[in-house]
Structure 1
Amino acid sequence: MNRIAIDGGQSALRLRVAASARTGTGPGYTHGPDALMRMLDAIRVAAAEVELQGPVDVVALGLTGYPQAPGVAERFAGQVGELLDADEVRLTQDMVTAHAGALPAGYGVVVAAGTGLVCLAVDRDGTWRKLDGHGYLFGDAGSAFAIGRAGLVAVQRARDGRGPVTKLADTAIDPVLLYRSSTLVDDVARFAPEVLRCAAEGDPVAHDVLVRAAGDIAETIGAAVAQLAGEGPVPVACVGGLFAGAGEQLLTPVRAALPARARLIPAAGNSLDGAERLATGPTGTYADLIVTYRR
């Protein structure tokens, strides 16, 4: 059986053929009226890279920029089906595939942080609650974008003499020029590793940015844990490119700020693993969060 998993993030789209584990990549999600068409193009690029040959039995996709308008997700799932010659398409948000990959048992909280940040809490009875994932203007607290933006604000403040001196200002980037970029969100998020590096080297301004981001992440986790019934410990997994790059530099202050019920555990897998799980098995707990197209 030919089953395909797709993880569509803001920085890149990844496509995996379940049987062979071959993986192709395409451009990440970009905001705009043609965002879904660009995503189809990214899927086409990734499929060509793995030399995908149809027909396909099942495709499961977890996407950043999941279409929220009525009927749009259904139409997009149909377009993916046509593109990949697929009998069935299972379309959901990237937070769902992140959760499915990280916590195979289903119960618990997953925070997925890359360019953006979203959190999903799933209770033992299958009820769920999404937190944050509100985008770079109104949410994504603690994300790589949030860290990068705070770092670039510190750069401008230092250069103006309005803020403290910081190693961050040594960058060749002129933040104001980023306004012109069609990939502004991704560009800003790419400054986060520089903030982490300067924090590790003892820069107090960068350290303060990191600590505030950790506090924001812990606040989101705390709110998610509070949604789950009972008083016992709740497994919490932190996944995504931000945590992969920062490791304990970020996890240590997050852990210190967590409520007593939250128990950080290693993720069993990533978002692409979660998409593969949804492509190769029953949707189970996540059925209400998935749009299905069948031809």
Structure 2
Amino acid sequence: MARIQIPLLAVDGGGTKCLAVFAEADRSLLGTGRAGSCNYQGIGEAAAKQEVIKAIRAAMQEVCQRKGIVAGQAEWEVACAVFGLAGLDTGRDREIIQQMVAAALSELSIQVNDLIVENDGFAALLGATKGGAGILVIAGTGSIAYGINGAGTTARAGGWGHRVGDEGSGYWIGKQAVQEVLRAADGRSGVTQLTGLLLTHLGLDHVEALFNWAYSPDFSVEKTADLSPLVSLAAEAGDIAAVRILQKASEELALAAQSVITKLALGEVPFTMILQGGVLQKHDLLRGMVVEQIKSIAPKVQIDMENHEPIDGVIAKGLAYLEKRAQAQ
């Protein structure tokens, strides 16, 4: 039986997709595989494990094709495997995800000499900063802020999920929009353009139907997040309720960033702040509000709007670990 020895297995697994790559020490890729969401908090541990397996197995097949080896007829040894996975927020999460990863590797019969498991947000941060000091603020369906300083110390704020957190996210903004429509219908606030925009978008005839939708099987976090562009549209037209929502969202995102800045003592030193996620990438008004607030507390910040690939951070972390280990030997 052939023996395949590879320096690095890198896996980036989020709420939308799972990407697995095998790489050489010079960063050249040997195999790539993709699968769906592997956030166990959203789809369950068993389903998440299967998506991880699917992505890695596809990458393994590509490696075998390159090497001219029949898939399933090789022994696999990986020097270092790094997993950046969504849903790793607490100590309990780490236990569950590490067990899930170990089970996936066992099922695939891959021997891993050194295993590193991190939150996917930290992987994205490392990919964006290339090891330098920086803060990553993500506002997509959910929201979170990560940071790293020059000493390598890391910190985070937010990211507690849609039920109890994710302030400033697409879901949070969409939920606020629904609430504003209901408040207006009650007469607890003024008339808002959001009423017509939301009803049209959802194909509903009246506000009561919006209430029914919110408690129906059709409701979802993703569909609620899809309402957030309507808030930006209304705000740009001067709608008071929409502007109020975006202002509050910007304050929450800036507060998360400020918390990380304070923890890492970055307020008076140069650092990069990376803004990622659909909300910050596409909503110009909201992004401007966030940037203005951050610059008021961290005047030396540099804003980076490039869409960095999280897998690059996972690979960088694994290769840095291998290099450090080699130097120690």
Q: Same fold (TM over 0.5)?
A: yes
* Superposition pairs of residues 63-212 of structure 1, within 5 angstroms: 63-66=85-88, 68-69=91-92, 71-88=95-112, 89-170=115-196, 171-172=198-199, 173=202, 174-181=210-217, 184-212=220-248
Q: Aligned partners of 1:255 and 1:127: how far apart in 2?
A: 23
- CA deviation vs aligned residue, 1:37-90 (integer Å, no higher than 9, x gap): 121233345456665557473543222212631732331220232345443343
Q: Aligned partners of 1:283 and 1:107: how far apart in 2?
A: 22
Q: Aligned partners of 2:17 and 2:52: how far apart in 1?
A: 7
Give the share of equivalent positions with the same residue, in percent.
Answer: 24
1:200 to 1:39, Cα distance in 2 relative to 1, 3 A: farther
User: 1:222: which partner in 2?
Assistant: 258
User: 1:233: which partner in 2?
Assistant: 270
Q: Aligned partners of 1:196 and 1:225: how far apart in 2?
A: 27
User: 1:15: which partner in 2?
Assistant: 19
- Which residue identity does 1:221 align to in structure 2? A
- For the 8 Å contact 1:214–1:253, the answer to whether it is kept is yes
Q: Aligned partners of 1:59 and 1:181: how far apart in 2?
A: 39
1:181 to 1:64, Cα distance in 2 relative to 1, 3 A: farther
Which of residues 36, 41, 53 in structure 1 aligns to 2:45?
Answer: 36
More relative contact order, 1 or 2 (CA 8 Å, 6+ apart)? 1
How much has 1:92 moved relative to structure 2? 1.0
Q: Aligned partners of 1:243 and 1:272: how far apart in 2?
A: 20
1:228 to 1:180, Cα distance in 2 relative to 1, 3 A: same
Q: Aligned partners of 1:253 and 1:78: how far apart in 2?
A: 43
- For the 8 Å contact 1:29–1:64, the answer to whether it is kept is yes
- Which residue identity does 2:34 align to in structure 1? G
- For the 8 Å contact 2:213–2:219, the answer to whether it is kept is no
Does the residue aligned with 2:146 lie in a helix, a strand or coil? strand
- CA deviation vs aligned residue, 1:243-272 (integer Å, no higher than 9, x gap): 2332x3322111111234251421562323
Does the residue aligned with 1:75 lie in a helix, a strand or coil? helix
- For the 8 Å contact 1:108–1:121, the answer to whether it is kept is yes
Q: Aligned partners of 1:284 and 1:120: how far apart in 2?
A: 25
Is it true that 1:274 corresponds to 2:313 in the alignment? Answer: yes
Does the residue aligned with 1:232 lie in a helix, a strand or coil? coil
Q: Aligned partners of 2:11 and 2:282: how far apart in 1?
A: 22
* Number of matched pairs: 282
Moved more, 118-127 or 154-163: 154-163
TM-score (norm 2): 0.72
How much has 1:153 moved relative to structure 2? 1.2
1:134 to 1:153, Cα distance in 2 relative to 1, 3 A: same
1:85 to 1:113, Cα distance in 2 relative to 1, 3 A: farther
1:166 to 1:21, Cα distance in 2 relative to 1, 3 A: farther
Does the residue aligned with 2:223 lie in a helix, a strand or coil? helix
- For the 8 Å contact 1:98–1:112, the answer to whether it is kept is no
- For the 8 Å contact 1:116–1:144, the answer to whether it is kept is yes
Q: Aligned partners of 2:47 and 2:219: how far apart in 1?
A: 13
Does the residue aligned with 2:243 lie in a helix, a strand or coil? helix
Q: Aligned partners of 2:224 and 2:109: how far apart in 1?
A: 37
- For the 8 Å contact 1:108–1:235, the answer to whether it is kept is yes
Larger Rg, first or second structure (1 or 2): 2
- CA deviation vs aligned residue, 1:146-183 (integer Å, no higher than 9, x gap): 11111121222234443332232222433543434497
**Gap regions ≥5 residues in structure 2:** 1-5, 24-28, 65-75, 203-209, 325-329
- Which residue identity does 1:40 align to in structure 2? K
- For the 8 Å contact 2:145–2:159, the answer to whether it is kept is yes
